[in-house]
Chains A and B, each alone.
Chain A
Amino acid sequence: MLRLLSFVVFLASWWIASLVVGDAKLPAPPAVLAAAVAEARSGALFFNLGVTLARVALAFTLAMTLGAAIGYLMGRVRLADRLGDPWLILLLNLPALVVIVLAYIWAGLTEAAAIAAIAINKLPTAVVTLREGTRALDPALEEMAAIFAVPRSRAFRHVILPQLAPYIAAAARSGLSLVWKIVLVAELLGRPNGVGFEIGVAFQLFDIPLLLAYSLTFAAVVLVIETVLVQPLEARLFRWRPHAA
Chain B
Amino acid sequence: MRLDVDIARKTFINAAGERTDVLSGINFVLATGEVGVFIGPSGCGKSTMLRILTGLDHDFQGQVSRPADARIGMVFQEPRLLPWRSVEDNVRLAAPQAGAARLSQLFAALELNGHRNHFPHELSLGLARRVALARAFAVEPDILILDEPLASLDATLAANLRDQIAALVDNRSVTTMLVTHDIDDAVRLGDRLFFLSPRPAQILATVPILTPRAARSEADLNRIKADLARLNVVNV
Binding site for B on A (CB under 8 A): 140-141, 143-150, 154, 158-159, 162, 165, 240-242
Does the CB pair A140–B80 fall under 8 Å?
Answer: yes
A144 neighbours in B (Cβ, 8 Å): 74, 76, 80, 94
A10 to B191, CA, bound (A): 77
Given A140-B78, A162-B82, A147 contacting B72 (CB threshold 8 A): yes
Does the CB pair B78–A147 fall under 8 Å?
Answer: no
A165 neighbours in B (Cβ, 8 Å): 84
B135 neighbours in A (Cβ, 8 Å): 148
Residue B71 is within 8 A (CB to CB) of chain A in the complex: yes
Binding site for A on B (CB under 8 A): 51, 54-56, 71-74, 76, 78, 80, 82-85, 93-96, 119, 121-122, 135, 139
**Contact residues of A: prevailing secondary structure:** helix
- Listed by A's residue number, 25 A-B pairs whose Cβ atoms lie within 8 Å are A140-B78, A140-B80, A141-B80, A143-B51, A143-B80, A144-B74, A144-B80, A144-B94, A145-B93, A147-B54, A147-B72, A147-B74, A148-B94, A148-B95, A148-B135, A148-B139, A154-B93, A158-B82, A158-B85, A158-B93, A165-B84, A240-B83, A240-B121, A241-B83, A242-B121
Does the CB pair A159–B94 fall under 8 Å?
Answer: no
A140 to B135, CA, bound (A): 16
Residue among A147, A150, A165, A242 with max Cβ neighbours from chain B (10 Å): A147
A147 to B141, CA, bound (A): 11
Q: Which residue of A lies closest to B77 (CB)?
A: A140
Does the CB pair B74–A148 fall under 8 Å?
Answer: yes
A141 neighbours in B (Cβ, 8 Å): 80, 82
Q: Which residue of A lies closest to B136 (CB)?
A: A148
**How many Å from the CB of B81 to the closest CB on chain A?**
9
A242 to B119, CA, bound (A): 9
Residue among B56, B82, B119 with max Cβ neighbours from chain A (10 Å): B82
- Give which listed residue, A147, A159, A162, contacts B56 with CB less than 8 A: A147
Kindly list 14 other residue pairs between chains A and B, CB separation below 8 angstroms, not including A147-B74, A149-B72, A162-B85. Answer: A141-B80, A143-B51, A144-B74, A147-B72, A148-B72, A148-B73, A150-B94, A154-B93, A154-B96, A165-B84, A240-B84, A241-B121, A242-B121, A242-B122
A162 neighbours in B (Cβ, 8 Å): 82, 84-85
B56 neighbours in A (Cβ, 8 Å): 143, 146-147
A241 neighbours in B (Cβ, 8 Å): 83, 121
Q: Which residue of B lies closest to A143 (CB)?
A: B56
Q: Which residue of B lies closest to A157 (CB)?
A: B93
A145 to B84, CA, bound (A): 15
User: Which 9 A-B pairs have CB atoms at the shortest separation, nearest pair first?
Assistant: A148-B94, A162-B84, A240-B84, A144-B80, A240-B119, A147-B54, A242-B121, A147-B74, A158-B93
Does the CB pair B80–A159 fall under 8 Å?
Answer: no
B83 neighbours in A (Cβ, 8 Å): 240-241
B78 neighbours in A (Cβ, 8 Å): 140
**How many Å from the CB of B105 to the closest CB on chain A?**
20
**How many Å from the CB of B70 to the closest CB on chain A?**
10
**How many Å from the CB of B140 to the closest CB on chain A?**
12
Q: Which residue of A lies closest to B141 (CB)?
A: A148
**How many Å from the CB of B3 to the closest CB on chain A?**
15
A143 to B51, CA, bound (A): 9
Does the CB pair A150–B93 fall under 8 Å?
Answer: yes
Residue among B80, B135, B139 with max Cβ neighbours from chain A (10 Å): B80
B122 neighbours in A (Cβ, 8 Å): 242
Does the CB pair B84–A149 fall under 8 Å?
Answer: no
Q: Which residue of B lies closest to A151 (CB)?
A: B96
B139 neighbours in A (Cβ, 8 Å): 148
B94 neighbours in A (Cβ, 8 Å): 144, 148, 150
**How many Å from the CB of B86 to the closest CB on chain A?**
8
A205 to B195, CA, bound (A): 89
Q: Which residue of B lies closest to A238 (CB)?
A: B84
A145 to B80, CA, bound (A): 10
A27 to B46, CA, bound (A): 76
A147 neighbours in B (Cβ, 8 Å): 54-56, 72, 74
A143 neighbours in B (Cβ, 8 Å): 51, 56, 80
Q: Which residue of A lies closest to B54 (CB)?
A: A147
